[in-house]
């Protein structure tokens, strides 16, 4: 008996709830019918797998900007104000899945263009598909320099830095320091290898007497770095340069700290900003040279404060480098649509070439270079230090390294593309 009453109550409440929802849905539908159809942006991103934490931060940063724009009624186009709608797909870090997603978003869901991609392998694959099908792809995070250099094309843009710029930025700082004997530890896969290449190419050019004392190549996702640490210490380099990221960087730092590696040599880590400093908390080491695109604590602007508040409201967390990458990408895309007055691919691309935006990162402004569609995003070098204000370490003595001088010249890139075609 009891259960019958409970069941009847349950069924009726479900029906009532359903009715209420459909009513609300009806109201909101009626409102949008008057307005222009929204601009549809397809997002291809690796929301599961190793990089998913960072991938979500890219996306949340992007959403902060889109919410801001939609809150003001949308983007101004020739036809009038249009809101922006996001269609998000997970590529699971697999290039083939990403291409499938891209096809679905463009051909079935009729998205106007694509944004996203955190993995280099995925970027190269999706970029190839977009080139063949003349679809605009905006890369916000994946960093292989081959994407915009040898394999670049009209339909691909990228608002983050690339591996070439990262290595050259690091070299432009270290060439003026009195150290020539270097050690390296990078993960043994394409990203680690190309970061190593670009830094050593730049240093060999810029620093006379530059020597490699040792290079270590642990695999991606190692549980243990101890043998690598003792091998590094045995080679006695003056500076250790590393592009380890994620849990690998954390494991390395904790274990190297136990060995006293940080007392024996200087250490410079690429992208050891918020994504590393926050989870490390008090376990980080002082005096490490950390490179980051968004040092989080710096003499910020009102825009920076506004972004931090909006992001915190949305996610309950402070933003990191990745959040800003997403935010930058959205800022670029919105600026491009406003400039072109349309989302039609060809005029939009023409509008985006050479476009500049203001960013909340210390780079201040970023410009998309016309020849290769690569942004001249700058980077910051800072030294890790305990902070009384934050539960994690912050970066002091920050030096902003502008992006433009670290880019490869247009002539070299075009020559490489021509050679690739043959």
Partner 1 sequence: MTGWVLMSQFLSGLTTAMIYFLIAAGLTLILGVLKIMNFAQGGIYMLGAYTCYTFIKLFGGTNSGFLLTLIIAPIAVAAFFSILEVVLMRRFYGKVPLYMLLLTYGILIATYDMARMIWGWIIKTAPMPPMFRRTLAIFGQPFPAYNVFLIFMGFFMFFLIWFLIRRTAWGKKMRAAADDREMTAALGINVPIVFTSVFGFGAWIAAMGGALVAPMAGMAADMGIDAGITAFIVVVIGGLGSLPGALLAAFICGEVLAFGILILPEFAIAFMYLVLVIVLIVRPWGIFGKPIIIK
- Interface stretch with partner 1, choices 117-125, 229-237, 363-371, 413-421 (CB under 8 A): 229-237
227 binds partner 1 (CB under 8 A): yes
- The least distance separating partner 1 from the CB of residue 205, rounded to whole angstroms, comes to 23
- The least distance separating partner 1 from the CB of residue 47, rounded to whole angstroms, comes to 10
Of 315 and 342, CB closest to partner 1: 315
Query: In angstroms, rounded to a whole number, what is the distance separating the alpha carbons of residues 358 and 301?
Result: 11
Binding mask 37-66 for partner 1 (x = CB under 8 A): ------------xx-xx--x----------
Query: In angstroms, rounded to a whole number, what is the distance separating the alpha carbons of residues 347 and 158?
Result: 18
321 binds partner 1 (CB under 8 A): no
Contact indicator for 182, 286 with CB cutoff of 8 Å: no
Q: Which of residues 281-320 bind partner 1 (CB under 8 A)?
A: 281-283, 317
Interface residue with partner 1, options 233, 267, 324, 329 (CB under 8 A): 233
Q: How many residues bind partner 1 (CB under 8 A)?
A: 42
Interface residue with partner 1, options 79, 188, 309, 346 (CB under 8 A): 188
Interface residue with partner 1, options 248, 321, 372, 376 (CB under 8 A): 248
Contact indicator for 113, 137 with CB cutoff of 8 Å: yes
Of 184 and 332, CB closest to partner 1: 184
Contact indicator for 81, 36 with CB cutoff of 8 Å: yes
Distances (CA, A) of 113 to 37, 41, 87, 129, 344: 15, 6, 11, 13, 9
181 binds partner 1 (CB under 8 A): no
- The least distance separating partner 1 from the CB of residue 157, rounded to whole angstroms, comes to 28
- Interface stretch with partner 1, choices 136-144, 201-209, 215-223, 371-379 (CB under 8 A): 215-223
Of 188 and 309, CB closest to partner 1: 188
Distances (CA, A) of 222 to 189, 228, 269: 13, 11, 17
Contact indicator for 94, 79 with CB cutoff of 8 Å: no
Interface residue with partner 1, options 97, 217, 371, 402 (CB under 8 A): 217
Outline where DSSP puts E strands in 70-185. Answer: 75-77, 80-82, 84-90, 113-116, 137-139, 156-158, 181-185
Residue with tokens 């060439």: 175
Interface residue with partner 1, options 41, 280, 334, 343 (CB under 8 A): 280
Query: In angstroms, rounded to a whole number, what is the distance separating the alpha carbons of residues 301 and 364?
Result: 10
Outline where DSSP puts E strands in 39-94. Answer: 39-45, 75-77, 80-82, 84-90
Question: Could you give the maximum distance between any two Cα atoms of the chain, in Å?
Answer: 89
26 binds partner 1 (CB under 8 A): no
279 binds partner 1 (CB under 8 A): yes
The contact set with partner 1 (CB under 8 A) reads 49-50, 52-53, 56, 188, 214-219, 221-224, 226-231, 233-234, 246-251, 254-255, 258-260, 278-283, 317
């Amino acid at each position: 008996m009891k259960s019958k009453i409970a069941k009847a109550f349950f069924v009726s409440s479900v029906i009532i709830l359903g009715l209420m929802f459909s009513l609300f849905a009806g109201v909101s539908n009626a409102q949008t019918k008057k307005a222009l159809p929204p601009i549809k942006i397809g997002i291809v991103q690796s929301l599961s797998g190793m990089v998913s934490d960072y991938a979500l931060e890219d996306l949340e940063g992007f959403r902060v900007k889109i919410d801001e724009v939609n809150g003001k009624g949308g983007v101004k186009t020739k036809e009038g104000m249009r809101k922006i709608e996001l269609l998000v797909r997970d590529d699971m870090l697999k290039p083939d899945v990403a291409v499938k997603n891209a096809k679905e978003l463009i051909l079935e869901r009729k998205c106007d263009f694509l944004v996203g991609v955190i993995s280099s392998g995925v970027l190269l694959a999706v970029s190839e598909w977009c080139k063949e099908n003349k679809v605009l792809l905006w890369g916000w995070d994946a960093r292989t320099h081959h994407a915009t250099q040898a394999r670049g094309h009209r339909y691909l843009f990228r608002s983050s830095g690339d591996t070439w710029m990262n290595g050259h930025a690091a070299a432009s700082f270290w060439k003026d320091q009195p150290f020539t004997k270097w050690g390296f530890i990078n993960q043994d896969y394409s990203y680690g290898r190309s970061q190593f290449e670009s830094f050593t190419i730049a240093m060999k050019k810029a620093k006379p007497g530059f020597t490699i004392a040792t290079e270590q190549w642990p695999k991606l996702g190692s549980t243990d770095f101890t043998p690598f640490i003792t091998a590094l210490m045995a080679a006695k380099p003056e500076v250790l340069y590393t592009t380890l990221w994620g849990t690998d960087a954390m494991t390395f730092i904790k274990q190297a700290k136990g060995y006293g590696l940080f007392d024996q040599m200087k250490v410079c880590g690429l992208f050891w900003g918020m994504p590393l400093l926050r989870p490390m908390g008090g376990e980080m080491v002082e005096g490490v040279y950390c490179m980051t695109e968004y040092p989080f604590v710096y003499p910020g602007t009102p825009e920076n404060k506004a972004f931090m508040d909006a992001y915190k409201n949305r996610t309950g967390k402070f933003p990191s480098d990745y959040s800003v990458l997403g935010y930058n990408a959205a800022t670029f895309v919105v600026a491009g649509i406003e400039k072109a007055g349309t989302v039609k691919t060809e005029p939009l691309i023409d509008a985006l070439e050479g476009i500049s935006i203001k960013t909340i990162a210390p780079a201040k402004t970023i410009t998309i270079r016309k020849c290769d569609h690569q942004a001249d995003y700058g980077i910051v070098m800072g030294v890790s230090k305990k902070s009384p204000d934050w539960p994690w370490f912050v970066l002091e003595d920050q030096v902003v390294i502008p992006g433009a001088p670290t880019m490869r010249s247009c002539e070299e890139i075009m020559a490489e593309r021509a050679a690739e075609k043959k």
